[in-house]
Amino acid sequence: MIAFENAAYSYGGGELLSEISLRLAPGSFHFLTGPSGSGKSTFLKLCYGELLPTAGRVTLFDREVRGLNRDAVALTRRRIGVVHQDCQFLDHLPVASNVALPLLVSGRPTPSRDLADLLSWVGLGQLAGALPPSLSGGERQRAALARAVITGPDVILADEPTGNLDWEMSLRLLTLLVELNRMGKTILVATHDLNLIRQAKSQVSTRVLRISKRRIQLAGADL
């Protein structure tokens, strides 16, 4: 699915990530931890082609990302659902349209029933017609998750998806991610929330990666 071979990323003269070699296998569930500013978001952006490695290779679905043109990157992103930390939406369109956006831009049909089910699944059934600016932080996170999964992507990347959620809603969101993983989706979640990771490990087989000193390592057994 997604593979890094001795990849590095530098910005402004400094190296943020270096010597990264790993492979996200189909159907795997990974957590990515590390202190703030350690490069978790940068790593995720490398995973969906928003950033290009400054050294080494990043391969998305067996294609070297540096060799992809802009349209090819766009088409690749249709296979990757992304939940951003800041959850950006088209603020002038209702939640339902925003959630359906990935289907609409790819010209695929958007069955009303499926969309309604998905919104109910993330607890936003009553807010389909609301505009994003009126949503709370937690509601935005759930809308972003719904948007990320609506196309049935092969990979789901989430950057601090529970950052604005209470524990109950975090568990609910985790349950959604676990369900998606059981459906065969590859999941990578960047988070600070160790409780969330422990909860996930009790439900599904996960691997925890930690960014430390610009490198990514497998976390120890303390988690």
Partner 1 sequence: MSEAFSEHFHDRIVPPSGAPAWLTSFTAGAMTFLAVFALALSLAADRLATRWADALDRTATIRISAPEDQMALQTKAVLALLKTTPGIASSRAMTPDETKALLEPWFGPDLPLTDLPLPQLVELTETAQGYDSEGLKQRLAAEAPGAVLDDHLRWRRPLAQAAGTLRVLGLTAIVLIGLAMAAMITLAASAALAANAQVIKVLRLVGATDSYIARAFTRRFTMRAGTGAAVGAVAGALGVFLLPAEDSAGGFLTGLGFTGAGWLLPLALIPLAALVAFAATRLAAFRTLKGLT
What is the footprint of partner 1 within residues 94-153 (CB under 8 A)?
94, 96-97, 99-102, 104-106, 110, 112, 115-116, 128-129, 147, 151
- Annotate each residue in 163-202 with x if it binds partner 1 (CB under 8 A) or - if it does not, as one string: ----------------------------------------
Is 136:127 a contact under the CB 8 Å cutoff? no
Site for partner 1 contains 16 (CB under 8 A): no
d(CA 24, CA 186): 7
Between helix 194-201 and helix 167-182 the angle, nearest 10°, is: 40
Cβ(22)–Cβ(16) below 8 Å: no
Name the residue nearer to partner 1 (CB basis): 12 or 129.
Answer: 129
Q: How far is the CB of 172 from partner 1 (least distance, A)?
A: 22
* Number of residues located near partner 1, criterion CB under 8 A: 34
DSSP 8-state code for residue 131: -
Q: What is the residue type of 202?
A: S
Binders of partner 1 among residues 19 to 58 (CB under 8 A) are: 50-51
DSSP 178: H
CB of 122 to partner 1, least distance (A): 15
Q: In what order do the strands lie in the sheet with 80-83?
A: 80-83, 155-159, 186-190, 29-33, 207-212, 215-218
Q: Quote the least distance from Cβ 97 to partner 1, whole Å.
A: 4
Q: Decide whether 189 or 208 has the Cβ nearer to partner 1.
A: 189
- Residues in 58-77 at the binding interface with partner 1, rule: CB under 8 A: 70-71, 74-75, 77
Q: Which residues pair with 33 in a beta bridge?
A: 210
Residues 119 and 146 sit within 8 Å (Cβ to Cβ): yes
* Residues at the site binding partner 1, with contacts judged by CB under 8 A: 50-51, 70-71, 74-75, 77-78, 82, 84, 88-94, 96-97, 99-102, 104-106, 110, 112, 115-116, 128-129, 147, 151
